[in-house]
Amino acid sequence: MKNFFIINILILTSSCSYISGPEGMFPPTKNAFLKEKVEEDMQLPDDLNVIVIENHYPVNVVNELSDDQEVPKPRQIFASSGNSSVQLRRLGELMWIYVETLPSTSWPITKSYWNTSLFETLNADPLTGEIDINFDETSILKMKIEHGIKEASTEIFLAQLDKNSNEIISNPELIQSELSNLVNYFAESVDQFSGTSLAAQNLNDIKKAKIFVENGQTVIELDLNFDRAWSSVTKAMNASEILANDKDRSNGIFYVSYAEEEEGSFFSFLNFGRNDKNQKVNFDGAQFEVKITVKNNKTYVRAYSKDGKIEEAEKLISKINESLS
């Protein structure tokens, strides 16, 4: 029986070699290209013409260059049907651009803006999101691309630095002018960009807003100073139509009441400020506190219920988080 098995193995092995081996019926062809030879060009009859290849990417010949040229719109690298918001924001002397798209998408647009400008780009590091531009003989412009507060958003900052001391030069007019130009550039281009720069992917992970649970309650952690955190929470509450009875900015507290609908006991934070007939707003006392605290250069947003309604406090902090930007 053992001999019979060995004989079958030998027959099977020799059969495979006979079929697909070098001398078999179907020899391997992976090295057949090495035997190929270049033949002479085909000779066409006189009555046939060579096909002219169409140039799909013609280059326009520019005879004269103007010193005062607008930065051209970047070529369409990605295609998108979505809409993205681009805004120039200001808080005191701080100005920045807000874009509703990921930093890895904002990076190639911003880089393209400077590459096609009249200024020389000294350095562009997608890992840090920094771009250095040679502005004049004494200063450079440093642009920083960061993840925003809102999910899938970008914040872009610009500063003028002295070349020798590396100190910031206060020039708000210049910063506003350059950021405004970039806003216009983004507004014309950002809807066409839905792809992402692989080199700048890490910027998507460095977020300014995080959520964690502390003693069973949700806490929003913001990588912002107090002034920006206060402004952002105020803006988020206004966007969610959450009205505060009073504010104590020195202690970072918003005093918030609830709107109670006549039917049922649903506490609606979304309906604040609306004049619905089926709704009455109770302002007899503040049932909730939204508090901003500072620790280790970060700010923390918490919602407390004075009546022990933890679930309603969670709804409140959730609505604020949804509208943060």
Looking at residue 295, what is its pLDDT?
A: 94
Low-confidence ranges of the chain (pLDDT < 70): 1-26, 30, 33-34, 44, 47-84, 190-195, 258-286
Q: Pseudo-torsion of CA 227, 228, 234, 237, nearest 10°?
A: -150
How far is it, in rounded angstroms, from Cα 163 to Cα 9? 80
Looking at residue 137, what is its pLDDT?
A: 92
Domain ranges of the chain: 86-205, 209-323
Looking at residue 147, what is its pLDDT?
A: 94
Which residues face 256 on adjacent strands?
A: 244, 288
Query: Of how many residues is the chain composed?
Result: 325
Number of Cβ within 10 Å of residue 219's Cβ equals 16
Looking at residue 22, what is its pLDDT?
A: 63
Which CATH number fits the domain 86-205, given the four candidates 1.10.1740, 2.30.30, 3.40.50, 3.30.310?
A: 3.30.310
Q: How far is CA 124 from CA 3, 107, 156, in A?
A: 73, 10, 14
Looking at residue 85, what is its pLDDT?
A: 81
The tokens describing 200, both together, are 């700048």
Looking at residue 13, what is its pLDDT?
A: 55
Please indicate whether the domains covering 86-205 and 209-323 agree at the CATH topology level. yes
The tokens describing 276, both together, are 């619905």
Looking at residue 6, what is its pLDDT?
A: 59
Sign of CA dihedral 105, 195, 211, 252: positive
pLDDT digits (tens, 9 = 90+) for 75-126: 322 222 334 588 899 988 899 999 988 999 899 999 989 998 899 999 999 9
Give 110-124 as a DSSP string: HHHHHHTSSSEEEEE
CATH fourth-level superfamily of 209-323: Outer membrane protein assembly factor BamC (3.30.310.170)
Looking at residue 271, what is its pLDDT?
A: 46
